[in-house]
Amino acid sequence: MVPGAPRALFLLLLLLACAAPRASQNCLSKQQLLTTVRQLQQLLKGQEARFAEAMRSARSRLAALQSSVGRLAPDAPPASCPPLQAPLDGRKFGSKYLVDHEVHFACNPGFRLVGPGSVTCLPNGTWTAEQPGCREISECASQPCQHGGTCVEGVNQFRCLCPPGRTGARCQHQAQTAAPEGGVAGDSAFSRAPRCAQVERAQHCSCEAGFHLSGAAAGDGLCQDVNECELYGQEGRPRLCMHACVNTPGSYRCSCPSGYQTLADGKSCEDVDECAGPQHVCPRGTTCINTGGGFQCVSPECPEGSNNVSYVKTSPFQCERNPCPMDSRPCRSMPKTISFHYLSLPSNLKTPITLFRMATASAPSRSAPNSLRFGIVGGNSRGHFVMQRSDRQTGELILVQTLEGPQTLEVDVDMSEYLDRSFQANHVSKVTIFVSPYDF
């Protein structure tokens, strides 16, 4: 504002106040009013000149900036990595190849992933690892056939050719070839006289069902028991019993192992659920888990606290980490939740098969993670399992090698959550698998 401007404005206000019809005697004279008007006009001209000069200066600077920007080199395209293809016999999740973007891979049933399940695009335009591939799972690689049996590969399965005297999917059972409970072939219960009749000067003999005529057809013939267990235990014949076949005079019966009951068809075996009975079979404070032919009493415990990290049991099978101090990064890197899961499997289960799934479930007040990473982080699985993504938000624990019981396996599965490529939390599921000694 020019010098004298405050005084000119005061005079203008006074002029407006004195313009009323009944002005006070203290109002300015005509000469004073004209002087004030001229001062205001000069003030406005000065302000207009300064404003015009400021506008011209701003336009000049903008033009200079535009000119200098135009002379710069063209913008480099955003850094990206080479496109990736789905592996043969597999799938790919993710179609953006810019820096920090992830691409995930999974294999079709019957194949296992060789290489990383996820890769990330680095600022230098390369991926964090080589693209993985899918390799066919060899069912015979683990030598599943027992007692000299020969393994024959099939499509996602195998078949055992058993030697004489062995039966079962893995030749694990001994065929019943002798009479039970000390009986011998010459026992009267397993041999009897035939029924003969004279027809037109010829003698015709026959045996009861379950027996066959041996020796001469004449009077010295004998009806011997047909050992159905041995007959149907041969390769290529249908299996009579789910578990064991016991030969009886003129017939046979099926038996089931301890912990199983025979069904109404007389051939099939069904596990007895000891945990469902009215009596408590486990001590107080433990939980009963039914297994094939038996049961287990379990009582999972939370990890012991240390270094500002502690857990509290929120249910019989889950522990949650207590809130971490604001400045404790090691605490936030520990699992936020630890859950315990128990599975019961028969022996010789056909592979590959999905046993367990993990997925995120965010609270309504919490932003959902936009990236998940899955992996196996512990246990004694010895390569029997793989963890791979089934879709963008779900991971699957897959059994890729057949298991022979009885044995107990443990596998710890981790799911890490990321929001805008920033680590948020991870969750661990501890899976315990009880493998029955039987394949049913």
| DSSP per position, 313-343 | EEETTEEEEPPPPTT-HHHHTS-SEEEEEEE
Judge whether 88 and 109 are in contact, CB under 8 Å: no
Structure tokens at 60: 């000049």
pLDDT at residue 339 in the model: 95
Report the relative pairing of strands 318-321 and 337-345 from DSSP bridges. antiparallel
Residue 52 class from Cβ within 10 Å (0-12 exposed, 13-18 middle, 19+ buried)? exposed
**How far, in Å, CA of 359 to CA of 367, rounded?**
15
pLDDT: is 251 or 380 the higher one?
251
Q: Output the furthest CA–CA distance in the chain (Å, rounded).
A: 170
pLDDT at 17 > cutoff 80: no
Q: What is the pLDDT of residue 183?
A: 39
> Cα(253)–Cα(229) distance, rounded to whole angstroms?
9
Dist. CA 23–CA 150, nearest whole Å: 125
Residues 211 and 252 sit within 8 Å (Cβ to Cβ)? no
- Asked if the model's pLDDT at residue 184 lies above 80, the reply is no
The two three-digit tokens of residue 56, written as one number: 């011209």
Q: Look up the pTM and report it.
A: 0.62
Q: What is the pLDDT of residues 146-172, one digit of tens each?
A: 888 888 776 666 778 777 767 777 777
Instruction: Give the pLDDT confidence of 73-120 residue by residue, as tens digits.
Output: 666 667 889 999 999 988 888 788 888 788 888 888 778 888 888 888
Residue 11 and residue 39 in contact, taking contact as beta carbons nearer than 8 Å: yes
**In the predicted model, is pLDDT for residue 180 greater than 50?**
no
Q: What is the mean pLDDT of residues 237-252?
A: 87
Q: Are 331 and 277 in contact (CB under 8 A)?
A: no
Looking at the chain, how many residues does it have? 440
User: What residues does 395 pair with on adjacent strands?
Assistant: 358, 389
Q: What is the pLDDT of residue 170?
A: 77
CA proximity to 270, closest of 286, 238, 292, 248 = 292
The whole-number pLDDT of residue 92 equals: 85
pLDDT tens, residue by residue, 328-383: 888 888 999 999 999 999 998 888 889 999 987 655 555 667 778 888 888 887 67
H helix runs in 295-382, sequence order: 329-332
Q: How far apart are CA 304 and CA 311, in angstroms?
A: 7
Contact 259, 293 (CB under 8 A): yes
Residue 352, preceding bond cis, omega within 30 degrees?
yes
